[in-house]
C-alpha cells in the first residue's frame, strides 16, 4: 500500500442547493494516520462536504477523492474501507442491540468480536434491548461500536458528541483513542467535524476551519498554537502604543489584550520597552482560534 | 507520576510529555526501573492522540531517558548519559544562559538569581529524598 497517498483529497469542491452555495471551492488533504479536525459554524458546509465524500450528495464541480478513489464511481470500494458516525443516528426500531450489530457486521468483511464485547461492556449496553428503548447517548455508543468493529482505515465523525452528556462525550473520545487508534497507525485516520473543539483538542493533528463553504484556515494544531498567542499587559498609566502588527487589540484603561499572529516576540519586546506592571502570554487553544475566525478573516491570514 | 497537558503553554503536546517525564525522573516522581504508563491507557486518560504519546516515548528513548523492553513496556533507565562530560555541560549551559537572560530582563540581580538556583536545587533534593524514603 502506498502510505503517502492522501486518505481524503478535496479539490475546489462546489455543491449548491438551488442558488445557495453550500460548499464553494473547498480544498483540503488528509494524510494517513492523522486525526483531522473540520471546524465551522452551523451552515458553513461541513455536512455537505462529508456527504460528498460518502456519495450521499454529488458535487456540482471539483473533486472529492477517498483513498484515491472517486466515491461516485467506486462507492463500494470506498465505503468498505471507512465508517461513518453521523450526528443523528437511526436504527431499525424492531431490532435489538444484538440484531443491529449482526446486521451491520453482515455488510463487512472484517468484524472484531473482541472490540465489540469490550465496548458493549464498557458502555454497559444490554444487547437484548430494543434500539427504540435506548437513550440518545446509548444510540451514539451503539453507532460507535458499529463503526469501530470493522476496523476501518478511515473513521468519519460528523458532530458525533453534540447533545450528549459530558461523561458520554468523554467516553466517546477515549474510545476513539483507545479502541480505534490502537491498530496499525498508518491505517487509522480520523476525520471529525465538531463544534465541541476543546474536547477533541488533544486528538487533532491538523485542522481546517470552513466558513461559507470556503477554507478559511488550515494548519497543524501545534503550529497553530505556536502562531496565535494572547498577550495581556498592564501599565501604570494609559498608553498610546502603536501595535499595528497585532491581529487585534482590546484596551481597557491601563490594561490591554493583544492577539499575536506569529509575531508575539516582537510585540512582547515593544510592550516590555514601556515597563509593564504585568505581562502574560499564552497560546490560543484551537477553540479560541476558531472563535477568532472573524478577526482572521478581516486580517486575511 | 501524574501528567497533564496545557494547550495554552505553546509547547507542542509531545514535548510537554517529554519535559514532564524528565522532570519526574529528576525529582524522584519516577524511579529507575519503574515502568511508565502504557501508551494506550495514558493517551485515553489524557485524551490526546495515541501517536502523540508514542512520539513522546520515542523521543525519551532516543534521549536515553527510558528503554523499551519488548512485551513488558517502557522503563526509566539508570542515569548514565552516552554523552561526554563537556557535551553534557554544553547542554546545561544553554539552559543556564536562558535563565540568565530572563533574569536580566526581569531585573533580578545576580545574587538573587544564585540564591534562587540554590533554592530550586534544595526543592529537587527534598522531593528526591521524600520519594526514596
Domains of chain B: 13-76 (1.10.10.10), 85-132 (no CATH)
Q: Judging by DSSP bridges, how do beta strands A248-252 and A255-261 pair with one another?
A: antiparallel
Q: Is the pLDDT of residue B18 over 70?
A: yes
Q: What is the ipTM of this complex?
A: 0.87
Residue-wise pLDDT tens digits, B38-67: 999 999 999 999 999 999 999 999 988 899
Work out whether the CA dihedral A128, A133, A138, A140 comes out positive or negative.
positive
Please answer yes or no on whether B47 and A283 come within 8 Å at the CB atom.
Answer: no
Domain ranges within chain A, ordered by starting residue: 8-212, 223-299
Minimal C-alpha gap between B49 and chain A (Å): 4
What pLDDT shows up at residue A141? 94
Q: Judging by DSSP bridges, how do beta strands A154-158 and A82-85 pair with one another?
A: parallel
Global pTM reads 0.87
Residue-wise pLDDT tens digits, B34-43: 899 999 999 9
How crowded is residue A20: how many other Cβ atoms within 10 Å of its Cβ? Answer: 10
Yes or no: say if A87 and A157 are a contact pair by the CB < 8 Å rule. Answer: no
Separation CA A113–CA A159 (nearest Å): 26
Separation CA A299–CA A256 (nearest Å): 19
Interacting residues of A259 by C-beta distance below 8 A, sequence separation 6+: A228, A229, A230, A246, A247, A248, A249, A284, A292, A295
Separation CA A163–CA A138 (nearest Å): 12
Q: What angle do CA B97, B98, B103 make, to 5 degrees?
A: 95
How crowded is residue A257: how many other Cβ atoms within 10 Å of its Cβ? Answer: 15
Structural fold of domain A223-299: Alpha-Beta Plaits (3.30.70)
- Which candidate, A264, A261, A258, places its Cα nearest to that of A241? A258
Task: State the 10-residue block means of pLDDT for chain A, 301 residues long.
Answer: 82 95 96 96 94 96 96 95 92 96 96 96 95 94 96 95 90 92 88 92 96 94 95 90 87 93 90 89 95 82 63
Least CB–CB distance from A202: residue in B8, B40, B46: B46
Residues of A in contact with B42 (CB under 8 A): none
What pLDDT shows up at residue B10? 87
What pLDDT shows up at residue A33? 93
Residue-wise pLDDT tens digits, B77-104: 876 655 677 777 887 888 899 999 888 8
C-alpha cell of A180?
480505534
Yes or no: say if A201 and A286 are a contact pair by the CB < 8 Å rule. Answer: yes
Yes or no: say if B15 and B26 are a contact pair by the CB < 8 Å rule. Answer: no
Please answer yes or no on whether A283 and B10 come within 8 Å at the CB atom.
Answer: yes
pLDDT classification of B33: cutoffs 50, 70, 90: confident
Overall CATH class of domain A8-212: alpha beta
Please answer yes or no on whether B13 and A173 come within 8 Å at the CB atom.
Answer: no
Least CB–CB distance from B50: residue in A182, A204, A222: A182
- Kindly state the percentage of chain B with pLDDT values over 70: 95
Amino acid at each position: 500500500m502506498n502510505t503517502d497517498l492522501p486518505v481524503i483529497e478535496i479539490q475546489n469542491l462546489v455543491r449548491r442547493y438551488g442558488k445557495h452555495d453550500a460548499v464553494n471551492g473547498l480544498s483540503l488533504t488528509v494524510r494517513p494516520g492523522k486525526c483531522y479536525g473540520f471546524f465551522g459554524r452551523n451552515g458553513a458546509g461541513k455536512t455537505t462536504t462529508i456527504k460528498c465524500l460518502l456519495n450521499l450528495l454529488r458535487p456540482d464541480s471539483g473533486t472529492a477523492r477517498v483513498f484515491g478513489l472517486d466515491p461516485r464511481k467506486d462507492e463500494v470500494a470506498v465505503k468498505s474501507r471507512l465508517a461513518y458516525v453521523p450526528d443523528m443516528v437511526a436504527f431499525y426500531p424492531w431490532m435489538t442491540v444484538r440484531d443491529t450489530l449482526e446486521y451491520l457486521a453482515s455488510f463487512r468483511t472484517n468484524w472484531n468480536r473482541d472490540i465489540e464485547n469490550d465496548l458493549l461492556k464498557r458502555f454497559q449496553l444490554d444487547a437484548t434491548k430494543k434500539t427504540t428503548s435506548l437513550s440518545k447517548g446509548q444510540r451514539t455508543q451503539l453507532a460507535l461500536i458499529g463503526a469501530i468493529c470493522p476496523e476501518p482505515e478511515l473513521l468519519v465523525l460528523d458532530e458525533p458528541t453534540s447533545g450528549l452528556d459530558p461523561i458520554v462525550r468523554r467516553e466517546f473520545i477515549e474510545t476513539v483513542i483507545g479502541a480505534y487508534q490502537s491498530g496499525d497507525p498508518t491505517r487509522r485516520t480520523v476525520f471529525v467535524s465538531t463544534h465541541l473543539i476543546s474536547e477533541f483538542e488533544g486528538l487533532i493533528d491538523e485542522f481546517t476551519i470552513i466558513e461559507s463553504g470556503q477554507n478559511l484556515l488550515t494548519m497543524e494544531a501545534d503550529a497553530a498554537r505556536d502562531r496565535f498567542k494572547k498577550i495581556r499587559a498592564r501599565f501604570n498609566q494609559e498608553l498610546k502604543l502603536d501595535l499595528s502588527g497585532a491581529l487585534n487589540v482590546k484596551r481597557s484603561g491601563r490594561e490591554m489584550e493583544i492577539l499575536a499572529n506569529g509575531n508575539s516576540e516582537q510585540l512582547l519586546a515593544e510592550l516590555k520597552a514601556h515597563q509593564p506592571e504585568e505581562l502574560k502570554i499564552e497560546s490560543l487553544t484551537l477553540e479560541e482560534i476558531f472563535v477568532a475566525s472573524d478577526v482572521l478573516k478581516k486580517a486575511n491570514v | 507520576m501524574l501528567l497533564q497537558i496545557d494547550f495554552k503553554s505553546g509547547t507542542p503536546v509531545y514535548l510537554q510529555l517529554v519535559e514532564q517525564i524528565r522532570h519526574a525522573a529528576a525529582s524522584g516522581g519516577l524511579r529507575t526501573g519503574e515502568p511508565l504508563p502504557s501508551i494506550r491507557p495514558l493517551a485515553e486518560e489524557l485524551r490526546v492522540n495515541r501517536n502523540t504519546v508514542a512520539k513522546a516515548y520515542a523521543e525519551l528513548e532516543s534521549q536515553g531517558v527510558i528503554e523499551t523492553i519488548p512485551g513488558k513496556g517502557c522503563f526509566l533507565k539508570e542515569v548514565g548519559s552516552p554523552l561526554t562530560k563537556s557535551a553534557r555541560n554544553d547542554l546545561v549551559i544553554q539552559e543556564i544562559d536562558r535563565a540568565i537572560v530572563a533574569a536580566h530582563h526581569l531585573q533580578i540581580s545576580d545574587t538573587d538569581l544564585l540564591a534562587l538556583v540554590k533554592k530550586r536545587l534544595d526543592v529537587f533534593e527534598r522531593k528526591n529524598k521524600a520519594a526514596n524514603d
